[in-house]
Structure 1
Amino acid sequence: MTTELMMVIAQENLGAHIQKEQEEEGLKTCINPLQVWITSASAPACYNLIPILTSGEVFGMHTEISITLFDNKQAEEYLKSLVMETQDLASPVLRSVSICTKVEEAFCQAHIIVVLDDSTDKEVFTLEDCLRSRVPLCRLYGYLIEKNAHESVRVIVGGKTFVNLKTVLLMRYAPRIAHNIIAVALGVEGEAKAILARKLKTTPSYIKDVIIWGNISGNNYVDLRKTRVYRYESAIWGPLHYSRPLLNLIFDSEWIKREFVATLKNLTATGRQFGGILAAHSIATTLKYWYHGSPPGEIVSLGILSEGQFGIPKGIVFSMPVKFENGTWVVLTDLKDTEISEQIMTRMTSDLIQEKLVALGDKIHFQPYQSEHKDLVPHEEKNPVMSDAAYFLNQIPQTTFEKPQSLEFLNGFEGKTVES
């Protein structure tokens, strides 16, 4: 073959290659990427969430995404630097990343909305004012979601500040998609697993089926009755699928009732700092399960609107055991030996109902449920563990709550002014 002929063939091959690439690019423009919006994008959780979303682990390597970072005008410079860092990842699944500070443009055609904790400052506020201050922002978000988001939008609420309350308020103000709004409980679940793993000198990922009941960021009940430990090094050893009940491995019941409870209280008390890594991982894992299903046979905790399951009052967002399959979740109402005493259930539901009533102005003062019993865990239920919201109120004076910047946050957006 002559050199000239080889050059001709090479030119033809190059032309065919360029044409093929152009056709592929043209096809890409016809395929709409998944529109992911992240609120309060200047929060640390967002910084840690972006690399996970762009890795392809959450939605799959064949699903392109476009990320929009939504925050107030004051955060714009930081968001610009975050956009550049995200672009530097050169992720094959990232179609685009942009910022939005204009309220009227928020959630435009959004398929997924991640609601993070709004910023706080140090001004003095009472608990009741903290609860009521959630309403304006949730009302605004609800209106914008109903108006601008895609009809099949999925909303996932994360963070550590009144998570259940914010979720139920969003459902109230965005009723059209209320069935697609959930609250992330895997953060508390992860904290509990880590404490247990340190006690057993094992790996947290080997601990499965820890159930979180109730208020994710307040008065909740950590149920260990279904919890199992895999690959535990002991005299009894089995294949990878072999597991043992956790409560059969921790012989110090006093440690569970006291030290475990106290440590978890300290970590999960409402208003405490929630690490950005844990928040991001919990949100990403919940999204992954929502789209691709949770591991077969594994129990997942999720905050959803109660329909009366397990005797929980209707109309409140309550964390309970579920499994994800076929793009949705199924409440595991058929679990055996998961009954909760009336005292514990009343303690959890009372606080959640009061939070909602105070936030909406139907009740003036929040009064934590006070049990007649001094024991944190009733004698008939020594193994489950509870994190008590009343503990938080006793430890932190009501006059020192951090004031959320809900109203100032709204004023910081372009094109929107809210009187405070």
Structure 2
Amino acid sequence: MPASTVDDVVTVLITGAAGQIGYALAPMVCAGAATGPGKKIALKLLDVEFASEALRGVKMEIMDCAFDACVSVDVFTDCEKACEGVDVAIMVGGFPRKQGMERKDVLGKNVAIYKQQASALASKAKKDVKIVVVANPANTNAKILAKFAPSIPRGNVTCMTRLDHNRALAQLGERSGKATIEVKNAIIWGNHSSTQYPDVNHATIEGKPAREVIGNDAYLDGDFVDVVRARGAAIIEARKLSSALSAASSVCDHVYDWIHGTKEGEWTSMGVISDGSYGVPEGLVYSFPVTCTGGKWQIVQGLSIDERSRKLMDESAKELTEEFELAEQCLAESA
């Protein structure tokens, strides 16, 4: 591994690192896709004890890639040790829903996980650590983490809806026959779930309104929304496995834009703690259109919201409110 000075090094933690997303994500991070050029990476990989051998295998493969930017790779099954000195925490680990499990059961498991990880990050990570929660239910997991890590700035706790955002861009590009890079400013509002609202009302394709370019409002208000919402399920149907490569790439996009800034006149979608913008209840972790500059995000203000959009945005907010109330119930029962 190449030598480097402390100031050059970004310490990145990936939890759940022995899983599919972690396996796809770790090499992207070590190649600089998340933190950008000119920075070295000290990679920390965390997973549960029973995955320790697989985790060791991931470390061996990362080392064998001999990434120029990677100065170290360390593996952990102890959360507190893993969080020591972390600059960027990518929270992929979580308890997945299994056959026969109720929603409350999954939430109860994740409440315990994210309560513990919140404590470790608050006490051991850098004070300005940037956190992105990937594990589902991502929005609620992020809200739990923020609740139990009050010393971490609220703006430093986010969840990933960039995968949904990228899916929306890709669908618009495919439908219009244009390159995805020509599609700008779609929005994902709300929860990373089937109630999310992929909004094209402010999107452009080659600088023109997306609705004008596509010329089919029935599609944009119907099949387009359904496809973006159900894309994860469609990938499971095709691969017999959940999204990993696209999730990993979207994590890197999320972190990169957060650190380096969004392009002038463009925004992305991030799950962030609501300040009440657009009538979304304050405190919910909700996906908004955001711009990033100077390592901070800002919700895009002043966008017009039509009646249809308002209804869909409120439905997702209602789901998130109910989801967190259930999580709070799980917390009370475990106390």
TM-score (normalised: structure 2):
0.89
Structure 1: unaligned runs, 5 residues or longer: 1-23, 231-242, 365-418
1:41 to partner: Cα distance: 0.5
Q: Which residue of 1 aligns with 2:67?
A: 91
Identify the match of residue 329 of structure 2 among 361, 374, 398: 361
CA 1:305–1:207 in structure 2 vs 1: closer, same or farther (change >3 Å)? same
Q: Distance in 2 between matches of 1:276 and 1:186?
A: 13
Pairing 1:107–2:83 present: yes
What are the Cα deviations for residues 134-185 of structure 1, in whole angstroms up to 9, with x where unaligned?
21001111111112111111111124x2111011010001111133111111
CA 1:108–1:32 in structure 2 vs 1: closer, same or farther (change >3 Å)? farther
Pairing 1:312–2:287 present: no
What SS does the corresponding residue of 1:171 show, helix, strand or coil?
helix
Structure 2: unaligned runs, 5 residues or longer: none
Q: Distance in 1 between matches of 2:141 and 2:6?
A: 36
What SS does the corresponding residue of 1:97 show, helix, strand or coil?
strand
Identify the match of residue 321 of structure 1 among 268, 284, 289: 289
What SS does the corresponding residue of 2:107 show, helix, strand or coil?
helix
Identify the match of residue 283 of structure 1 among 241, 247, 251: 251
Q: Distance in 1 between matches of 2:310 and 2:283?
A: 18
Q: Which residue of 2 aligns with 1:173?
A: 148
1:357 to partner: Cα distance: 0.3
Pairing 1:351–2:319 present: yes
1:186 to partner: Cα distance: 1.1
CA 1:32–1:251 in structure 2 vs 1: closer, same or farther (change >3 Å)? closer
Q: Distance in 1 between matches of 2:205 and 2:264?
A: 16
- The structure with higher relative contact order (CA 8 Å, sep 6+) is 1
Q: Which residue of 1 aligns with 2:213?
A: 249
Report if aligned partners of 1:218, 1:270 keep a CA contact under 8 Å in 2: no
Sequence identity percentage: 25
Q: Which residue of 2 aligns with 1:262?
A: 226
Q: Which amino acid aligns with 2:200?
A: L
1:332 to partner: Cα distance: 1.0
Q: Distance in 2 between matches of 1:302 and 1:94?
A: 27
CA 1:271–1:128 in structure 2 vs 1: closer, same or farther (change >3 Å)? farther
Report if aligned partners of 2:34, 2:255 keep a CA contact under 8 Å in 1: yes
Q: Which residue of 1 aligns with 2:173?
A: 197
Q: Which residue of 2 aligns with 1:62?
A: 38
Report if aligned partners of 1:40, 1:116 keep a CA contact under 8 Å in 2: yes
Q: Which amino acid aligns with 1:249?
A: V
Q: Which amino acid aligns with 2:67?
A: S
1:342 to partner: Cα distance: 4.6
Q: Which residue of 2 aligns with 1:46?
A: 22
Q: Which residue of 2 aligns with 1:34?
A: 10
Cα RMSD between the aligned structures?
2.5
Q: Which residue of 2 aligns with 1:162?
A: 137
CA 1:108–1:207 in structure 2 vs 1: closer, same or farther (change >3 Å)? same
What SS does the corresponding residue of 1:216 show, helix, strand or coil?
coil
Report if aligned partners of 2:111, 2:331 keep a CA contact under 8 Å in 1: no
1:125 to partner: Cα distance: 1.2
Q: Distance in 2 between matches of 1:288 and 1:80?
A: 27
Report if aligned partners of 1:186, 1:282 keep a CA contact under 8 Å in 2: yes
The number of equivalent residue pairs is: 326
Report if aligned partners of 2:108, 2:330 keep a CA contact under 8 Å in 1: no
Q: Which amino acid aligns with 1:168?
A: K
TM-score (normalised: structure 1):
0.72
Q: Which amino acid aligns with 1:164?
A: N
Q: Which residue of 1 aligns with 2:161?
A: 185
Q: Distance in 2 between matches of 1:71 and 1:132?
A: 19
1:274 to partner: Cα distance: 4.1
Report if aligned partners of 1:188, 1:268 keep a CA contact under 8 Å in 2: no
Q: Which amino acid aligns with 1:333?
A: Q
Q: Distance in 2 between matches of 1:225 and 1:141?
A: 38
Q: Which amino acid aligns with 1:196?
A: L
Q: Distance in 1 between matches of 2:76 and 2:253?
A: 25
1:327 to partner: Cα distance: 0.9
CA 1:271–1:252 in structure 2 vs 1: closer, same or farther (change >3 Å)? closer
CA 1:342–1:229 in structure 2 vs 1: closer, same or farther (change >3 Å)? closer
What SS does the corresponding residue of 2:214 show, helix, strand or coil?
coil
What SS does the corresponding residue of 2:188 show, helix, strand or coil?
strand
